[in-house]
Structure 1
Amino acid sequence: MKPVLPPAPRPESVATRVLDAGWRQWIAENRLRQCTPESMLLTMTQAGVDAEQSAQAIRAMESDPAFLAARKMQQITLKLESVLANQHRVRVLDPHYGQVEKRSGVSRAEFLAQYVYGSRPVVLTDVARDWPAMRRWSPQDLRERFGQQQVEIQAERSADPNYEVNKMDHKRSVRLADFVDQVLAGGATNDYYLTANNEALRQPAFAPLLADIGTLPDFCQAEELARHASFWFGPAGTVTPLHHDTLMLCHTQVVGRKRWRFISPLQTPLLYNHFEVYSPVDIDRPDLQRYPLFAQATVLEVVVEPGETVFLPLGWWHQVTALDVSLSFSFSNLAFPNSYTFHNPSITNW
């Protein structure tokens, strides 16, 4: 049974009334999306294309050799999607699947078996128990120790719905003391954020921050920390939109709280991942008319408190929201293989 879909969207850059190659590609794409010929005909005629010409082109697409080849490839894709969906159906039989555990005292063997090989997110509550950062770090501490240093932030994010995809356009270099003052005075906002992309920890001036990190778990390579660590600082209200990373990592909350939402990589076909590692779905406000498949996704949620560390397994989708002024530290220097290849799409006009 075919899903009920809205009328097929217009091609973004086609403003002509002529049935050109752009319209023919649009017809092929939307038939592959299972849009009905009726909805497509309606969209085309509303755009000013002749109704008979449109109907003829839609019918002709069904016997086009290139389209028939695409249908064969689609069968293979649908098989792979069904394998993922069925694997996820088995996973959710676990009565604890919907809960992100908070654990302490997890042995290396159990951590590997349950969370790395088992591919499950977990919050470890004792990783940072002896970190000087837990006693020292604060916005005021940043200002006092590093206020004169320049840092790279993302700014003017609120006006751009694709601020994370376009993050290079939002790079700004600011004095850290000025940014601390902005965060403390500005209240809750997603407009500016010092994220992992700042690479501050690669600068010698910020080496004292690394010195504030104490004992690492035995599933980490401590000597590799400086090369695989990142620092985050921003106000309440910052949102890292739905995406997946290409490796596994740990993310320790030092100051403030963050809400993490997770979706299994087995449910990737529900997330409209057309460009790189991003999904256009906003978990807070999902547009189910535009992204109806997302209604089938299972979202796991946990609030991470100061001193707690999230383990992010490979490929898990996540959206992260700061509930307070937040300082965080992430690290990926794990003592097991942590380099993977993803063949990411690069479609920008869907």
Structure 2
Amino acid sequence: MTTTSTVRHSLDDLLTQFINDLGATAAAGNIVLGDRLGLYRGLDEAGPLTSAELATYAGSSERYVREWLRGQAAGGLVSYEPETDQFWLTEPQALALADPNGLQLAGAFQLALACFADLPAIEDAFRTGKGFAWGEHHPDVFTGCERFYRPGYVANLVGEWIPAITGLDDRLTAGVTVADLGCGLGSSTRILAQTYPASKIVGFDNHPGSIELARRMTLEAGLADRCTYQVAPAQDLPGDGYGLVTTFDCLHDMGDPLGAARRVRDALAPEGVWMIVEPFAGTSVADNLTPVGRIYYSLSSFLCVPHALSEGAPDAWGNQAGEEPVADLVEQAGFGGFQRVAETPFNIVYEARP
């Protein structure tokens, strides 16, 4: 029997979580505004500042900035000194919110808000079971997603993940042809191109809008002579003889992952390797009932499952599928070797060899 004290304790816990969740939800738009208006950057470059000083520095209205700063300080995203009524960013706060080469956490909130913009369409998909393709989403989904994943790729791809696959760094340094499948806006493609100039890097994605943005960002980065892009679905990957094929956080989004895996197998050179990077997930639902799992399941219901269903998936994986379906897929596609080679709190990296 459940006692009154137990119910009260559970309700108190739930209300505490509710307050934290509602606070984060309400703050999301303010985080995106702070990013777009340069308010975090202003605090980092010129702080400590009063609201009037920051408003002048950033070219914004003082009354709005005053309210914004107080909400940010209440959430611990900026720091506050009561005696001077000034605000500033600590080094970790700046790394997370102001540094263009930092963690880019505002991008995650940009992605979440863009999901909310598609709420009517996703509600209809819930009711009908039909899909909603990636390219149908609000444009901030594409740019927010790129900002959400890029810091992890910057931190881990070259320094940790590639060295974890025996001989891969040497082969990329010597020069091979690489297919970056589901490249999106091309963050991973550009990292590979910048690091391995002797290799030919080609990014593929079935969303023309993402490929257009990838080309533009690559031109701005001065890497257009090192990597190119094509619109193509994974199961129709053009070319063959690839020394490396990569899929970064996208295999679970595909309507026909087995078709894609078989095409990758056929397109690889005999000594080639398929690097599969997927969101971190355990082997069971219970393993994934964590703060990270919560983020991923929530994004998956708006992004991953709808897109896979839009491509005809009979039962979409979702982004918390875990290792077992990946291993089964690789085996069914005819690969001779498969293993987990690396992981972070957000990703698991596998290698598959012909």
What TM-score does the superposition give when structure 2 sets the normalisation length? 0.29
Which of structures 1 and 2 has the larger relative contact order (alpha carbons within 8 angstroms, sep 6+)? 1
* Higher helix residue share: 2
What TM-score does the superposition give when structure 1 sets the normalisation length? 0.30
